[in-house]
Amino acid sequence: MPKVRSSNIGYPRIGEKREWKKSLEQFWAGNISEQDLLESLKSIRLTNIKKQTEAGIDLVPVGDFSFYDQVLDTAVSFGLVPDRFDYNGGKVDVTTYFAIARGTDSAVAAEMTKWYNTNYHYIVPEISTPPTSLVHNRVLELFNEAKEELGTKTKPVIIGPVSFVKLSKNLTGQSEQELVRSFIPLYATLLKELEEADADWVQIEEPFLNGQVSNEDLDLLQEVYAQLDVAAPSLNILLQTYFEAIDDYEAVVNLPVQGLGLDFVHDEGVSLEQVKKFGFPTGKVLAAGIIDGRNIWRADLKEVKDIVDQLSVIVGEGQLILQPSCSLLHVPVTVELETELPELLKEGIAFADEKLQELVALTKVANDEQDEESLEKSSAAVKALNESSSRNNEEVRSVLATISEEIPTRTIDAPERLRIQQEKYQLPLLPTTTIGSFPQTKEVRQQRLKWRKGELNSEDYEKFIRDEIDKWIKIQEELDLDVLVHGEFERTDMVEFFGEKLAGFQFTKFGWVQSYGSRCVKPPIIYGDVAFVKPMTVKETAYAQRQTKRPVKGMLTGPVTIFNWSFPRTDIPEGQVVNQIALALRKEVEELEREEIGVIQVDEPAIREGLPLKPSKTKAYLDQSVGAFRLSTNTVQTQTQIHTHMCYSDFEAIIESIDALDADVISIETSRSHGELISAFEDFTYNKGIGLGVYDIHSPRVPAQEEIDRNISRALSVLDPKLFWINPDCGLKTRKEKETVEALRVMVNAAKEARKQYVTSPE
């Protein structure tokens, strides 16, 4: 056995050119059979394993590939299907699996929320009764497939029982500890079957360990893994953590498992200090996450080797594994396809395949099997990028230096602003609006692609966009929406669009990553200092406003979201990058005001997802986020109404920061969480406009009015009707035109019915 081995935690499932996405969507559209889908996904899955094996990775994961989401995979393995779906036990079929994720005409989809502090979304399991059996040992099936088809003995990957329960909705009435215990015999069966199939290692992920962990949690982990160790004594368990350092190093490192995976990238140096201070148990394996699995920057391998050298002294020979800091699910597949990137930048980035190469190079150097030329080359590439003019814009740096440490504020408080704005706009009680985007039809996408390829001139393309705006302004007026939007037909993505127009950003051609389901995004690369160049949204928004007497919202993406949904540079502090973006957006806000756009929405759907896993770091992050948002909006006139939008649930912990944003109106997704967020406002007095999304746009279904009525009624039980707005929970870009119009018609009718129960004219 070599003294150091390489391993991977997880690999992107989407394929180099999103072949996975295309297969799923063809199946959902009815264009291919289930058998065709299964064969296509199997081909991608085996290709992924083969690529990693050929790259030289010693421990290649299996089970990281998914039809939709790995948490959903775990749930259905135990037969955890919500009661509203038709299921009679046994292995969950493909139709039911996708129904849970996407909903049906008669059943709403399971809730979807962020995977810790990433932009990946998982399906939240609903556990109404404790599971009684393992209905499908999926990882065993995939382990055997790789062995039979490729001759490769892989490392099965599963989510651990404690993290799984914490990620789920516990509707059983049992305590969390009791519910976890009900899973132990099922996990024991799963592991025993892997052991019998001759698996050597299994990666059990317990990412909750990187957040706040109680003594009860640690006792429960001891109990769980002691029993699993007994159940499969010859199977090696690698307990995997990521995204942060663990606080309870001494307790976790002594759990009854054969290996422990720690993050040495996003830990701020804590993991290395813990190993140096407390040592590492003899005979146990340390899987050191020393290559960044969440960002695309090439590692300075000379610096990383220093960490490897220090670990090699402490950890016994043969007991050190080098791997990414987390699954490579969060980065694109390969840089090789990026033929149009500037050479300096291309040399400075690494996607999944290149990160595997970095791991293999480090492993070979650690085993004295290769000279250190690759290490020197990586250091030179990183140094060249850091010293480039793009990363040293003196004008941007000088403006940034003038920003006060005090959070900027507007001169008049929210209630008075609301009165002035209501005088101007004369909106009805419970005003209706949408979040911003309308369906990006096949024709819209085709015309944009033609224009980008030079097959359609700019004049004809702009006319096409204006025609789409005209069409949807008329639709909105016919629906009787109160505050309109232009539809964002000129935009590919809510971050990419702005990045293309700001200095300091670069874009890839195939740099896709999965966001949720088949939805893939192509995050911009923030590689240099960010600066405003010219107006970005004014032309289309001003045109739309000229077509109607109703207010049209200017639509911007906020600084924190642009940062969180990009691959940001890491050579300067995060706060500096976010404030550079905020200053650039402030100039755009001022340009919209000059064109008499009086309602401006600065979306921040990603503030919640960026929350640190450690509570001790939360305040600094939220203060930084609030400051950046207000930096981008605080110069507007009193009558200019600032809106913002946030996605997903669990906002209770940050309700004060939501209030501190000082937006005039905030809209928040709540439909998939069935209004649970509303309870956050029962004990908090909120004096600004608020819209809690009244129907779920992620499911291809038109909501019944009774559903929307219930959501409105529940919200108005704790919120002032004079402050409440009615809107969908998110943008409508991914929906079809017919269902969008029908759903909005139901929403507007529900709003009009609700108005009858309250004062029918605004004060």
Query: Is 18 annotated in some ligand binding site?
Result: yes
Reported as half-sphere exposure (CB side, CA atoms, 13 A), residue 656 has a value of: 5
Residue 212 DSSP one-character state = -
Starting from the edge strand earliest in sequence, which strands make up the sheet with 724-725, in order? 553-557, 599-603, 641-646, 665-668, 689-692, 724-725
Query: Is 645 annotated in some ligand binding site?
Result: yes
Residue 343 CA: distances (Å) to CA of 339, 361, 448, 636: 9, 22, 27, 41
CA distance 263 to 247: 12
CA distance 588 to 499: 13
Query: Is 19 annotated in some ligand binding site?
Result: yes
Is 698 among the catalytic positions? yes
Query: Is 488 annotated in some ligand binding site?
Result: yes
Query: Is 512 annotated in some ligand binding site?
Result: no
Show the CA angle centred on residue 523, arms to residues 519 and 524, nearest 5°. Answer: 155
Query: Is 452 annotated in some ligand binding site?
Result: no
Q: Can you name the residues that pair with 287 across neighbouring β-strands?
A: 261, 321
CA distance 526 to 536: 18
Query: Is 119 annotated in some ligand binding site?
Result: yes
Residue 52 CA: distances (Å) to CA of 11, 185, 356, 404, 572: 9, 33, 8, 49, 32
Query: Is 520 annotated in some ligand binding site?
Result: yes
CA distance 288 to 7: 9
How distant is the alpha carbon of residue 82 from its chain centre?
Answer: 24
CA distance 82 to 674: 14
Query: Is 603 annotated in some ligand binding site?
Result: yes
Residue 756 CB: number of other CB atoms within 10 A? 8
Say which amino acid occupies 526: I
Query: Is 326 annotated in some ligand binding site?
Result: no
Query: Is 50 annotated in some ligand binding site?
Result: no
Residues in the chain, overall count: 763
Query: Is 565 annotated in some ligand binding site?
Result: yes
Q: Can you name the residues that pair with 689 across neighbouring β-strands?
A: 665
CA distance 660 to 198: 56
Q: Can you name the residues that pair with 289 across neighbouring β-strands?
A: 263, 323
Query: Is 21 annotated in some ligand binding site?
Result: yes
CB 149 within 8 A of CB 165: no
Q: Per the residue annotation, which of 121, 266, 486, 698 is the catalytic one?
A: 698
| CA max distance for the chain | 79
Residue 402 CB: number of other CB atoms within 10 A? 7
Say which amino acid occupies 617: K
Sequence-distant (6+) residues with CB within 8 A of 371 are none
Output the known binding site for L-methionine.
435-437, 488, 603
Residues at the binding site for 5-methyltetrahydropteroyltri-L-glutamate are: 18-21, 114, 119, 519-520, 565, 609
The annotated binding site for Zn(2+) is made up of: 645, 647, 669, 730
Q: Which residues are annotated as a binding site?
A: 18-21, 114, 119, 435-437, 488, 519-520, 565, 603, 609, 645, 647, 669, 730
Q: Which residues are known to be catalytic?
A: 698
